[in-house]
Amino acid sequence: MGQMKSKIALIIIPVLLALTLLLATSVSSAWPAPARQFIVVIDAGHGGKDPGGIGHQGVKEKDVDLAIARLIEIEALSEPELKIILTRRSDVYVPLRERTGMANRLGASLYLSIHANIHSDRRVRGTETLLPESWKGRSFRSLTLARNLQANLVRELWSRDRGVKYQRLYLRWSQVPAALVEVGFLSNPEEARLLQSISYQDRIARSILASIKDFLGLRE
Ligand SMILES: [Zn+2]
């Protein structure tokens, strides 16, 4: 009797497997392919030999930047129109020219660099978005992107709005619309605590993703 059962199982299992496979392929072919895929380059600031800012209780900026960049990539998995390329996926240093070079070479729709801030006064807090000084009065696409990022982040995080600012930045090498977000201050004990929590990092990631979709006209 036991032998009979195992014989039936021998027949039924392959049949079930074949059916599952058939169903899976028919479902995937019915799924509409995106009309266009936008390449978005996300840069986690610093890395490797360059820790970035060292914040409250020794937190390293490079680790926070990478965690947020990776969460953006994960959140974008449910967006078939977006192809996220990270400039680094681990604790390595990538030269700045190479980072913007990636976006230029790929003809990306936009380049976004993720950073966290440091100030000698630990009371200083808030979010700001930076653009290269040399883009002042031009690169209006990047200014639109920066303003949207800044507004969405401040609203989502309830953080102090430090605005969109122009600074001397390597981002000037980008030939595609670009911005750099400073999501908060690691020198501020409260923001350092928040910036190390996955739930806060994920709120940042989702807010940034919403801005990317706004910029690309992918939001209903
Ligand atoms: Zn930085």
pLDDT tens digits, one per residue of 163-175: 999 999 999 999 9
Determine the Cα angle at 81 with ends 78 and 84, to 5°.
75
- The SS3 call for residue 186 is coil
- Is 18 contained in some domain? no
Give me the pLDDT at residue 36, please.
84
Contact 103, 174 (CB under 8 A): yes
The CATH number of whichever domain residue 130 belongs to comes to 3.40.630.40
- Encoded tokens for 79: 């967006």
- Is 17 contained in some domain? no
Q: Give the C-alpha separation, 186 to 118, whole Å.
A: 6
- Is 23 contained in some domain? no
What distance in angstroms lies between residue 91's CA and the mean position of ligand 1's atoms?
14
Predicted confidence (pLDDT) at residue 24 exceeds the cutoff of 60: no
CB atoms within 10 A of CB 17: 10
- Encoded tokens for 28: 């995937």
What distance in angstroms lies between residue 181's CA and the mean position of ligand 1's atoms?
9
Q: Euclidean distance between the first and final Cα of the chain, in Å?
A: 61
pLDDT tens digits, one per residue of 128-177: 999 999 999 999 999 999 999 999 999 999 999 999 999 999 999 999 99
Residue span of the structural domain in which 133 resides: 2-9+34-216
Instruction: Give the predicted TM-score (pTM) of the model.
Output: 0.84
What is the dihedral angle through the alpha carbons of 181, 186, 189, 191, rounded to the nearest 10 degrees?
20
What distance in angstroms lies between residue 202's CA and the mean position of ligand 1's atoms?
19
What distance in angstroms lies between residue 116's CA and the mean position of ligand 1's atoms?
6
User: What sign has the CA pseudo-torsion 123, 163, 43, 201?
Assistant: positive
What distance in angstroms lies between residue 127's CA and the mean position of ligand 1's atoms?
13
- Is 212 contained in some domain? yes
User: What sign has the CA pseudo-torsion 127, 116, 215, 179?
Assistant: positive
- Is 27 contained in some domain? no
- Is 210 contained in some domain? yes
Q: Give the C-alpha separation, 127 to 157, whole Å.
A: 9
What distance in angstroms lies between residue 191's CA and the mean position of ligand 1's atoms?
15
Contacts of 77 (CB under 8 A, 6+ apart): none
- Is 170 contained in some domain? yes
Determine the Cα angle at 194 with ends 146 and 207, to 5°.
30
- The SS3 call for residue 127 is strand
Please tell me the total count of domains within the chain. Answer: 1
- Is 167 contained in some domain? yes
